[in-house]
């Protein structure tokens, strides 16, 4: 399945007629910008695969950087970033504890954030690595997934059921951590892992508890807090889990379309932009065209001379990884973010 998706994504990239109009407009500037960002990520990487700066020794930041390399079509078996990718893979695999948790430094407020992102990355890169690393991933990923499922199954109040938070034993949930966990499960399921349908359904139900059916936005622990940076997360998760075309997804896309220009200066600006770009690409049409045109116009000029973007939340590596992932949405290199090719025909 993953191999077919990989070759399909390359075909889409090479077929210029399939590229959205707005990306054709910006491609000559986006390509070198992304390449400069990846050069920065490779240049500042530590010998053990971790990164300097905020949370760089966690599992979350290296995993985000790894996904950025993959998003441009680079592989761990060949090419200029094979060594960088393999160092990240080895770093993450070496940080898994006896319970299955990818741990060490912490991303954000607790290890589950980094664990979820690391699981997502390793699921995405699985099938692209050399046989020795593939054997290690095959042993590691099932343990990581079981931990995510155990954390979801912890007894919680009705309002928090189906979600995740900072610790594997947390009895509450938030949509940010839950979004990463849900994408990790969805990626693994697409890759053939035995992820129960109920786990996906329960996570989607939890997200809906933090959705405003009146206004279309998602929040962090209610429908209303941090809605400008989290609505893209909620929308992307719904899109990836089979909710495309429902009134709730269109209302969420409309909310983003009406409010995304307030994102610059937001505490979670880079996080919000990453999710908005992914989500609006899934919706397609005017939603992606409008958002992408603004995103490229706004953030190309914010790239620093060394190729990085600075995020006040977690520094240069975090900012560069998320901006690269947002810019490369139309490349369609990551299997988790593939979309229905009939989207733009509506």
Report the b/e string of 60-88 with b at 16+ CB within 10 A: bbbbbbbbbbbbbbbbbeeeebbebbbbb
Please tell me which residue, 269 or 3, carries the higher pLDDT value: 269
> Measuring CA to CA, which residue among 141, 45, 52 is closest to residue 101?
141
d(CA 72, CA 174): 30
Place of tokens 């958002």: 291
Domains in the chain and their CATH numbers? 2-338 (1.50.10.20)
Per residue in 163-200, pLDDT (tens digit) is: 999 999 999 999 999 999 999 999 999 999 999 999 99
**Are the CB atoms for 207 and 159 separated by under 8 Å?**
no
Q: Which residues pair with 311 in a beta bridge?
A: 315
**Are the CB atoms for 219 and 230 separated by under 8 Å?**
yes
0.85 cut: is pTM over it? yes
**Are the CB atoms for 173 and 165 separated by under 8 Å?**
yes
Per residue in 260-289, pLDDT (tens digit) is: 999 999 989 999 999 999 999 999 999 999
State the pLDDT confidence band at 245, using cuts at 50, 70 and 90.
confident
Per residue in 9-63, pLDDT (tens digit) is: 433 443 333 444 788 999 999 999 999 999 999 999 999 999 998 788 899 999 9
**Are the CB atoms for 67 and 326 separated by under 8 Å?**
no
The yes-or-no verdict on residue 298 having pLDDT over 80 is yes
Summary mean pLDDT of the chain:
91
């Amino acid at each position: 399945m993953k191999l077919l998706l990989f070759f399909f994504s390359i075909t889409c990239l090479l077929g210029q007629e399939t590229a959205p109009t707005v990306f054709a407009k910006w491609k000559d500037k986006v390509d070198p910008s992304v390449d400069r960002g990846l050069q920065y990520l490779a240049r500042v990487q530590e010998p053990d695969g971790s990164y300097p700066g905020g949370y760089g020794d966690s599992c979350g930041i290296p995993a985000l950087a790894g996904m950025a390399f993959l998003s441009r079509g680079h592989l761990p078996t060949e090419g200029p970033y094979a060594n960088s990718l393999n160092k990240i893979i080895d770093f993450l695999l070496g940080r898994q504890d006896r319970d299955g948790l990818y741990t060490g430094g912490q991303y954000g407020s607790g290890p589950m954030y980094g664990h979820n992102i690391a699981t997502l990355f390793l699921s995405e890169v699985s099938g692209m690595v050399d046989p020795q690393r593939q054997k290690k991933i095959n042993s590691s990923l099932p343990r990581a997934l079981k931990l995510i499922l155990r954390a979801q199954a912890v007894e919680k109040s009705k309002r928090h059921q189906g979600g995740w938070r900072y610790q594997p034993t947390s009895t509450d949930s938030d949509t940010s951590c839950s979004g990463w966990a849900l994408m990790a499960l969805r990626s693994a399921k697409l890759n053939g892992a035995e992820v129960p349908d109920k786990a996906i359904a329960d996570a989607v139900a939890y997200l809906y508890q933090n959705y405003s059916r009146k206004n279309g936005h998602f929040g962090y622990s209610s429908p209303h807090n941090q809605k400008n940076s989290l609505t893209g997360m909620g929308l992307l998760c719904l899109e990836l889990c089979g909710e495309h075309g429902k009134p709730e997804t269109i209302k969420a896309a409309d909310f983003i379309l009406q409010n995304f220009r307030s994102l610059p200066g937001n505490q979670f600006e880079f996080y919000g932009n990453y999710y908005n770009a992914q989500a609006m690409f899934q919706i397609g049409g005017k939603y992606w065209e409008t958002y992408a045109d603004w995103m490229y116009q706004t953030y190309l000029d914010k790239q620093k001379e060394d190729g990085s973007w600075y995020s006040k939340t977690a520094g240069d590596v975090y900012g560069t990884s998320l901006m690269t992932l947002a810019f490369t949405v139309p490349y369609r290199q990551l299997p988790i973010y593939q979309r229905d090719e009939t989207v733009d025909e509506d």
